Structure 1
Amino acid sequence: MAGTEKKLLTELHESGIYDFPNSLTFFIDPVRILNRNYTQFRVSPSSYYSRFFTSNFTIDELPEHKQENEESFRVSASLGKRKRNQKKKKNQQCYSLNEKELLADQRHQEIRPLLVKAHEELLRAKELLDVICELNCEIDGWERCVDLNSGGINEEDEISFIELGKVWQAPLYEIALDYTQASKQVQVNGGSLDTQHIDQRLLPLFNNLVSNETNYDMVAEFQTSQYILPKDSCFYMSELEQIHTLVPANLECGFNFIMVDPPWENRSAYQKSKYPTLPNRHFLSLPIKQLTHTSGALVALWVTNREKLRKFVENELFPAWGVRYAATLYWLKVKADGSLICDLDLFHHRPYECLLLGYTGKPVTDSELTATAKSLKDQVVMTIPGDYSRKPPVGGISILLFAASTENLLDLLLEYVPGPRPARCIELFAREMMAGWTSWGNEPLHFQDRRYFSRKITENCTNYREL
């Protein structure tokens, strides 16, 4: 078993995916997967894993005069938590669930064994747990693009593209694409280097398809900020009303993998003012059918666990889009020590989210759909969460297949995508970019800010810390 786990850890090191044997369960490292998109930059582990990592200090490392206070605080906090849990249980015993809550709890109880089994497998993989607890460590030979002494990334200093897109000057804003680095790379491969070569192009920022068609990272500049565009990627930044601009004139140029992460109405997003939400009815107008390739498309939709939302998707949204449900991918969120981010049965805050998978367009017959649905089964993906509402790049795993040198490299979703290869992929309501994808939304550059990345500081260094 030790040899098997070592092999699986090697695969995690190379691909970012740990496949539990004889199971539909995976642990993935989003940072490793995302970094397959880049050549000169890397997503910074410490910026991605900004939550759910505990402090490294122990009580013995505190000054003596503070140890007693620290210990008293921990005991007090423990007692307070115990009292709150007892009060919560008492309230739950006195509270009767309504009809929708009963349906939500029934749905939870049906998939609970699958989630429990997945988590138990993670806790048994001791060597994997040792690796997980160090995932936020910076990579040797790379340094953060933000000054660590300044306290890290200050979200208040980030540009609000949502607000800028609403002002009358929006059509006048331009983004500068720096082709200098790409030119240098081409010349290096050709045997010469012209450090004076500068090529910068200005393009409209809003309501315009901005592309990096090179095989290298591209730095884009807007106002006082820089953004890293991964190789072979493009984005279209606009409000919902302009999304029809992306509909191709010829469906042969349509998309066969469509990822959707809508800004569902929810109290948490509103209270934290993280992003504006939209009523459910607005998503009925998404042109999923018109974006679909003639061979059909796999549609992946992120949803919360609210029963009202699930019923809306099943009864209204998927029928309006022409999507036939096939399976669900469950994203189970864990901390650095392998524990769940909260109790599995916590009613109003489950430690998992759902990615609903379905097909639109072809297959055209019920028998074809049944055969496809049987092959696409429910799966569990475990990760340590990144920033608020930042989803793991399960769609980005598709790039691993094309870059693979081994035949057995894992892939979660691409093998189920109908139509041509390489797959034509689009993400709607995107907040970051991936190589080979079109990213649409009103802030697709949010996580492309250079401050979320690391840069190379030595000529000779490995991409990742040895596992």
Structure 2
Amino acid sequence: MSVLCSNDKGWVISHYDYTKKMYTNVLSHSGLIDLAYNKNLFNIITPMMRDEEAQHFIKAVTVKSKKEFVFARDVQTNKFGSVIDDELLSIQLAYTTLLKEARELDLFTTSPREEDYLDNNKLARSLVDTFFDTLSEEFTLYQGGNNNNYSIIANVFDKSYVIPPSCNFFSCSVEDIESKLQGNKYDFILLDPPWWNKFVRRKKSKNFRKSYNMLHNNDIQEIPISKYLNGFGLLGVWCTNSPTHLEAVKQFFRKWNLEYTAEWYWLKVTQSGDPVCQFSGKRDKKPIERIIFGSEKCRNLKNPEPGKVIMSVPSAIHSHKPPLTEVLSAYLPKDPKCLELFARYLLPGWTSVGNQVLLLQSLSLYEVVSHSDNSIT
């Protein structure tokens, strides 16, 4: 299970454990193997900083105060940026209760040392840099899937990818979905839009392979969501903390004839359980991302409750969202049909669409956990 613990405030989940559970008995060219993401991908030991910031942090903060530095300073100085006080306090309450439950299960019990701050998550950062340095800049149109009830390793244009069971994928622009989806209806649609962003724009100019083609809000709004969401379906939209983007989602929902249902928060923490950055950091950066839910009025299934927090150690890859299949199961029918747009990895039983749809399925991001003696039946 990727859900490590939960309460009425939310869940603590493990993206790494999800892949370890999912990719057992993977059919490879050498037989059956068990895979998981390279563990160093989640080796986030200290809050995310530039190297010079980490060195300054060591000088400016005493060892005694480091543990409570991230949240305590923000609450005391009241520097919340675009996150309002009540919202921050609600997230902090959920964080406190979830962290307490997790530590009772011996999770997040380590404390970073001074050398960890100076190392500044080097293993994770180096893994990501190596991965992107070897990527091609070419965007290729293709489609595929895995109709088996087990995962496989497949070659696509001479590169190896891990493909989960019962999935379909389309490497194409989201603008082309009408010719790909052929009128199918889905119980859940997830969007992870490439929001227009000045920071990503600067990053894109420095390294094409680490970014993606951003869209203006008007372009996202024109996606024909209503055509593919069934009458009792649920829509989830990953959103930044930008007030402009948050307001845009409300406009999207009106365009798609959907009602706002709830807003959840993904709280990113280190291996010690500290938020990965300050709430009042530079560029209005926050340790949270949001997922906003909408549905039609006639939906007769349980709706997501507002204000839930999903707490996890993030991947070191920018904007690599955690899988939500387990936490969403209570709000979807049994064996739901699910669609992700702007996808960068695959999920079992889902249809995934995007021009980087296999990016994070690359075998180079995985490691063999064990060779299996079992046979596939």
**Which TM bucket (shorter chain)?**
0.7 to 0.9
User: Is the partner of 1:26 in helix, strand or coil?
Assistant: strand
Task: Summarize the alignment of residues 56-205 of structure 1 with structure 2, pairs less than 5 Å apart.
Answer: 78-79=58-59, 104-105=82-83, 108-125=84-101, 127=103, 130-132=106-108, 153-160=130-137, 163-165=138-140
CA distance in structure 1 between the partners assigned to 2:173 and 2:244 by the alignment: 26
Select the residue among 334, 342, 346 that pairs with 1:433.
346
Amino acid at match of 1:24: K
Select the residue among 280, 283, 287 that pairs with 2:217.
280
| CA deviations over 1:254-300 (Å, ceiling 9, x no partner) | 1011010000011232222222211111111111111122x421000
Higher mean alpha-carbon deviation, 377-386 vs 300-309, is at 377-386
| CA deviations over 1:211-250 (Å, ceiling 9, x no partner) | 100012222213442011111111011113311123434x
CA distance in structure 1 between the partners assigned to 2:219 and 2:245 by the alignment: 13
Matching of residue 42 in structure 1 with residue 17 in structure 2: no
> Is the contact made by 1:431 and 1:445 (CA closer than 8 Å) also made in structure 2?
yes
CA distance in structure 2 between the partners assigned to 1:226 and 1:81 by the alignment: 45
| CA deviations over 1:390-428 (Å, ceiling 9, x no partner) | 01111x32xxxxxxxxxxxxxx222223xx531000100
Q: 1:464 is matched with which residue?
A: none
Q: 1:211 to 1:458 in 2, by over 3 A?
A: closer
Q: 1:380 is matched with which residue?
A: 309
Task: Tell me how far 1:207 sits from its aligned partner.
Answer: 5.0
Q: 2:114 is matched with which residue?
A: none
Structure 2: gaps spanning 5 or more residues: 27-33, 48-52, 63-68, 111-123, 205-210
Amino acid at match of 1:306: S
> Is the contact made by 1:219 and 1:227 (CA closer than 8 Å) also made in structure 2?
yes
Q: 2:275 is matched with which residue?
A: 340
CA distance in structure 2 between the partners assigned to 1:443 and 1:266 by the alignment: 18
Task: Tell me how far 1:164 sits from its aligned partner.
Answer: 2.7
Number of residue pairs matched?
A: 325
TM-score calculated relative to the size of structure 1: 0.62
User: Is the partner of 1:296 in helix, strand or coil?
Assistant: strand
> Is the contact made by 2:263 and 2:306 (CA closer than 8 Å) also made in structure 1?
yes
> Is the contact made by 1:299 and 1:360 (CA closer than 8 Å) also made in structure 2?
no
Amino acid at match of 1:390: H
- Identical amino acids, percent of aligned pairs: 23
Amino acid at match of 1:260: L
Q: 1:226 to 1:459 in 2, by over 3 A?
A: closer
CA distance in structure 1 between the partners assigned to 2:287 and 2:369 by the alignment: 36
Q: 1:455 to 1:286 in 2, by over 3 A?
A: same
> Is the contact made by 1:122 and 1:338 (CA closer than 8 Å) also made in structure 2?
no
Two-structure CA RMSD over aligned residues (Å):
3.3
In terms of Rg, which structure is larger? Answer: 1
> Is the contact made by 1:219 and 1:229 (CA closer than 8 Å) also made in structure 2?
yes
Q: 1:407 is matched with which residue?
A: none
> Is the contact made by 2:10 and 2:98 (CA closer than 8 Å) also made in structure 1?
no
> Is the contact made by 1:262 and 1:429 (CA closer than 8 Å) also made in structure 2?
yes
Task: Tell me how far 1:126 sits from its aligned partner.
Answer: 6.6
Task: Tell me how far 1:77 sits from its aligned partner.
Answer: 5.2
Q: 1:78 to 1:34 in 2, by over 3 A?
A: closer
CA distance in structure 2 between the partners assigned to 1:291 and 1:276 by the alignment: 23
Higher mean alpha-carbon deviation, 423-432 vs 232-241, is at 232-241
User: Is the partner of 1:357 in helix, strand or coil?
Assistant: strand
Q: 1:212 to 1:25 in 2, by over 3 A?
A: same
Matching of residue 454 in structure 1 with residue 351 in structure 2: no
CA distance in structure 2 between the partners assigned to 1:19 and 1:74 by the alignment: 31
CA distance in structure 2 between the partners assigned to 1:131 and 1:19 by the alignment: 10
Q: 1:305 is matched with which residue?
A: 241
CA distance in structure 2 between the partners assigned to 1:211 and 1:449 by the alignment: 15
After TM superposition, where is structure 1 displaced by more than 6 Å over at least 4 residues in a row?
Answer: 73-76
Structure 1: gaps spanning 5 or more residues: 1-14, 56-72, 135-147, 166-205, 398-411, 462-467
> Is the contact made by 1:248 and 1:291 (CA closer than 8 Å) also made in structure 2?
no
User: Is the partner of 1:282 in helix, strand or coil?
Assistant: helix
